[in-house]
Amino acid sequence: MKEKIVITGIGLTAPNGDSLSEFRNNLINKRVLFQFIELRYIGKVIAGVCHYNPLKYQNKKELRAGTRAGSISIYCAREALNDAKIDISSVSRDRIGVYVGITEHGNVETENEIANIKEFNYDVRFWNHYHNPRTVANNPAGEVTVNLGITGPHYCIGGACAAGNLGIIQGVQQLMLGEVDYAIAGGVSESIHTFGIFASFKSQNALATNEDPNKASRPFDINRNGIVVSEGGALYLLERLGSAKKRGAKIYAEIAGWATNSDGTSYVLPNPDRQAECMAKAILNAGITPDNIDILNTHATATKAGDIQECQAIRKVFQKNFPYINNTKGFIGHAMGAAGALELAGNIPSFEDGIIHPCHNIETLDPKCELTNLLQKEKLYKNPEEIKYILNNSFGMLGINSTLIIKRFED
């Protein structure tokens, strides 16, 4: 019998909160904090900006040498370790693995360096000598290991907007293989600092606009007009159940099942059949049936086609017996590589308080997005004991799909 893998620490930063409690309270109380930012070559855009204190765990010199994605990762990793009450000086640092899901990495630094060198007539003497370590694909995870002196494995999982789930899945698998004793795993994103992502969405008519930035991200609403790009991160401390029990750790949840697959059909257009297959495989992997799922957090980003196709996939899997369905992007926008990990965190407290947070900014539901038990506007109160399984969807470009299922921990 495989040993259970459990969550014992959570560290996060989102546009509306820098801790799990703050993030959760703002989801329940419908607090949104989007803002207009000025972006090179584009001008004003709506974005989700994090407000964590980068100097809490780094000094100014380290921040200048590193990246925003690395800084977010360090903050989240340190917060997760503190939450799990792990003193890193008392554990074997070669038995800690760091697995960070990312959408992309290096665009921010490259864009900035090109803009900078242009001012010096493209003289390469003015190219930053930290450029290479800043832009390698393992950077965010690597910065965590340097900051904490971790000597176990580290790498990033490039999974587009499915990456947050994939980072957690990778951590679980490495624990199950016995490669590490602790896994710092999840996803991060620095996407708001690159004009390229905004420009691409804008050229696709998929970048959200609204006079009120807090009403711009509106998944499932008939008048949705695109994505609000956000930065953020959520990293989890994962360990085997025996380890957690031995040290008397608080256990948030058990990892019950997961699945990943590929559409194999389009660069950007999702395939609802493959999404349905991913959900079904995760449910099978968890050893349960669709009827056992109590909460389903949707990936829906507020693009016209994407929202509709995910709803089609959900109907195919659940048919008549639907779980309670919510969405987090109306509150925090699309945090890309961090999305899945952040959205999972927003629902984990339901195991304790029985509250299921709603969607946000649905004024008129798109009829093609109608789902039984979709919590459109109001939170729902349940007996916490009735909430046993939470399913988290994250899908990404080039047709990468991920579904993660967590379970109430019952000793």
Phi, psi of 263 (to 5 degrees): -70, -45
Place of tokens 């703050």: 22
Which string of b and e fits 247-265 if b means at least 16 CB within 10 Å?
A: eebebbbbbbbbbbbebee
Tokens representing 74 are 């360090």
* Residues 11 and 341 sit within 8 Å (Cβ to Cβ): no
Verify whether residue 360 is a known catalytic residue. Answer: no
* Residues 344 and 164 sit within 8 Å (Cβ to Cβ): yes
DSSP string for residues in 351-384:
HHH-EE----S-SSB-GGG--TTB--SS-EE--G
Among residues 105, 154, 193, 299, the one annotated as catalytic is 299
* Residues 52 and 13 sit within 8 Å (Cβ to Cβ): yes
The 3-state secondary structure of 31-55 reads: CCCCEEEEECCCEEEEEECCCCCHH
Neighbours of 342 (CB within 10 A): 29
Give the separation between CA 47 and CA 197, rounded to whole angstroms: 12
Among residues 50, 161, 278, 369, the one annotated as catalytic is 161
Verify whether residue 161 is a known catalytic residue. Answer: yes
* Residues 266 and 28 sit within 8 Å (Cβ to Cβ): no
Among residues 334, 357, 360, 369, the one annotated as catalytic is 334
Verify whether residue 334 is a known catalytic residue. Answer: yes
* Residues 328 and 342 sit within 8 Å (Cβ to Cβ): yes
Give the separation between CA 278 and CA 276, rounded to whole angstroms: 5
Beta-sheet strands, E only, within 103-228? 154-158, 182-189
Phi, psi of 402 (to 5 degrees): -145, 140
* Residues 387 and 408 sit within 8 Å (Cβ to Cβ): yes
Catalytic residues, which ones? 161, 299, 334
